[in-house]
Structure 1
Amino acid sequence: MSRSVDVSTNERAYFIEGLKAGIRLNGRRFDEIRYPHNIHLSKEEYGYVELEWGKNKISVRVSSYIRKPFEDRPFEGIFNINCEINSMASAKFENGKNSDEEVLISRIIEKSIRRSNSLDLESLCIIAGEKVWNITVDLNFLNYDGNFIDIGCFGVMLALQHFKKPDISIINGGEDIIVHDINEREPQPLSILHVPVCLTYCFYNITNQQEVNIKGESTSDDIYLLDCDYKEDLLKSGSIIITLNKNREIIQLSKNGGIPIDASLLVDLALGSIKVVDELTDLMKKLIKDHEQQRFDELNLKLLQVGADR
């Protein structure tokens, strides 16, 4: 069975005193995130990504196949996200049994990406009512150090932008289709309507006066931290997850229990998150662009361009 991790009273007191002094134990600012690093975009397989976010590590694989659409949505393709968390990531997770935290992680990522229509489902239609593309994202968490939601959302969106589906030809008046090999025809990228980015804020009541906060009389003693690591996550009094895109649109807000949050503070958090969202979105675009250029140079695809010297 999964094991819970307890924090001693001395560790908790030391952590709270550090927050009162404006210091995080990991050395970051209160509003500073752990930017993704060691990002690997596969050259052999479109849609496979491995990346690290602090000590967090995930792998994402996007796959596709052709199937019949749902009867009530004949003009739309099918898009699914599967999250897998087991004890390899952390001892707090149990194999074969989803805890409340695992269900929350899976649902927030699905709500932020799939239910926000970040992927254009109509572009996945091949023959209306007969054949559509089924896009499946398999998200595997390999190592846990707090805040799986942010890295999961970033990884899935990066993999979707990296993925390309095989090109097809429709023959016999729409009765049959030919799926071309990626070595025969250049595969086609997915149509991404917008790029959602999740940011998780954890709140701490440094006075331990929970009753005052529940009555809504004062929240001036509450401190928030962006992108908490494992120990910070264990000591939190509450959290809120904000999902935005570069268009300044709030995709979803999720607050699951904990201390109340003032409405004005929520607005300030959303405005302060815009800069981080822009940076992460630009990072995705740069990674995809650099990967495409590297592949273009290594395979010498310039020779395939019209007017190229041969």
Structure 2
Amino acid sequence: MPKEPEISLTEKTFVLEALKQNLRVDGRDLQSFRDIQLTFGDDYGFVDVRLGKTRVLARISAEVTRPRPDRQFEGMFTITTEMGPMASPAFEVGRPTELDHTLSRLLEKSIRRSNALDVESLCIVTAQRVWSLRADVHFLSHDGNLIDVACIAVITALAHFRLPVVTVSGEDITIHPVEERVPVPLSLLHWPICVTFSFFGEDEDGEMICALDATAQEEALRVGDMTITINKNGEVCQIAKSGGVAVEAEVLMRCARLAAEKVKGVDKMIVDALREDEVQRNKGNLDWLKEGKSENER
């Protein structure tokens, strides 16, 4: 199986010594994210997210199907991930890696199991027809911190997506095209955002060296990591810490407070990007959109 090029001893020594002095190769301090860029596609629910050189695409699709027998009032929502050699030579098509399984599990816990999406709102006719949503996540470039970028991509795509309006008359179900009825946004209860911390052992004062948004080079040198999923209200959705160096309770609490602070900025950035995209799509005139929503409600 192909592997990433190994880091030389000189590079390793340089990076670790810089981290001990609160410095990083790309000029950031330990508590800073790289610049985040959001680009929307022509269709609703298609988002391209870049964090430094890391790039992830997310696309939301929907179809009408029958509900699960034990969930007759709820629609369905699934997340699939795809990693290939385009993102990194360590990834192969059709051969999931341990990182692939970890990312899928974290996205599942962070977004689906935290009830970010109101699945009951996806029900069309109880026990007969519901919407089934699917989020396809494609990793195009890997330069570290894939989970945070993937989480931002899925949440943004869900917030950007629009469902066609459905009319039920007896046993007949009519799905109206976009040209006929203005599609409606999904019902999102909250926006969970992942924030991943990387640990590099202790510095000269015995304090744990902890860095946000590690690059691929830094990830290869870290001795542990922890992902905290939290929303803008400070509600922790999940904490994932699997192996690596032990983390004291004090360090964990400090990371949680920092994550809550960072998520507020990410949340605002997503809101601003969505608003700007909506204005551009409607050429600065939202009157027709408001009229369409009122008509849908009637």
What is the TM-score normalised by the length of structure 1? Answer: 0.90
Q: Which residue of 1 aligns with 2:194?
A: 198
Q: Which residue of 2 aligns with 1:146?
A: 144
Contact kept in structure 2, 1:49 and 1:155, CA below 8 Å: yes
Contact kept in structure 1, 2:33 and 2:212, CA below 8 Å: yes
Out of 159, 177, 182, the position equivalent to 2:178 is 182
**1:19 to 1:180, Cα distance in 2 relative to 1, 3 A:** same
Q: Which residue of 1 aligns with 2:32?
A: 32
1:20 CA drift (Å): 2.2
1:2 CA drift (Å): 2.2
Q: Which residue of 1 aligns with 2:215?
A: 229
Please list every run of 5 or more consecutive structure 1 residues that lacks an aligned counterpart in the other structure.
209-218
- Counterparts of 1:256 and 1:107, CA distance in 2: 12
Please list every run of 5 or more consecutive structure 2 residues that lacks an aligned counterpart in the other structure.
292-298
Moved more, 260-269 or 5-14: 5-14
- Counterparts of 1:186 and 1:197, CA distance in 2: 29
One-letter code of the match for 2:91?
Answer: F
Contact kept in structure 1, 2:203 and 2:209, CA below 8 Å: no
Q: Which residue of 2 aligns with 1:108?
A: 106
Instruction: Name the % identity.
Output: 37
Out of 88, 91, 94, the position equivalent to 1:90 is 88
SS at match of 2:154: helix
Is residue 302 from structure 1 mapped to residue 298 from structure 2 by the alignment? no
- Counterparts of 1:193 and 1:201, CA distance in 2: 26
Aligned residues: 291
Q: Which residue of 1 aligns with 2:3?
A: 3
1:40 CA drift (Å): 1.5
1:281 CA drift (Å): 0.6
Report Cα offsets for 1:116-144 as digits up to 9, x if no partner: 11000000000000000000010100000
Contact kept in structure 1, 2:195 and 2:229, CA below 8 Å: yes
Q: Which residue of 2 aligns with 1:212?
A: none
1:149 CA drift (Å): 0.2
Is residue 256 from structure 1 mapped to residue 242 from structure 2 by the alignment? yes
Q: Which residue of 2 aligns with 1:127?
A: 125
Is residue 239 from structure 1 mapped to residue 225 from structure 2 by the alignment? yes
Contact kept in structure 2, 1:64 and 1:135, CA below 8 Å: yes
Moved more, 223-232 or 266-275: 266-275
Q: Which residue of 2 aligns with 1:292?
A: 278
One-letter code of the match for 1:230?
Answer: A
Contact kept in structure 2, 1:41 and 1:48, CA below 8 Å: yes
1:110 CA drift (Å): 1.4
SS at match of 2:283: helix
- Counterparts of 1:246 and 1:206, CA distance in 2: 30
Q: Which has the larger radius of gyration?
A: 1
1:25 CA drift (Å): 1.3
SS at match of 2:243: strand
Task: Compute the RMSD of aligned alpha carbons.
Answer: 1.7
Q: Which residue of 2 aligns with 1:69?
A: 67
- Counterparts of 2:92 and 2:230, CA distance in 1: 31
What is the TM-score normalised by the length of structure 2? Answer: 0.93
1:284 CA drift (Å): 0.9
- Counterparts of 1:56 and 1:158, CA distance in 2: 16
1:192 CA drift (Å): 0.2
Is residue 50 from structure 1 mapped to residue 48 from structure 2 by the alignment? yes
Query: How do 1:162-177 residues align onto structure 2 when only pairs under 5 Å count?
Result: 162-171=160-169, 173=170, 175-177=171-173
Contact kept in structure 1, 2:182 and 2:289, CA below 8 Å: no
1:244 CA drift (Å): 0.3
1:81 CA drift (Å): 0.5
- Counterparts of 2:186 and 2:20, CA distance in 1: 47
Contact kept in structure 2, 1:296 and 1:302, CA below 8 Å: no
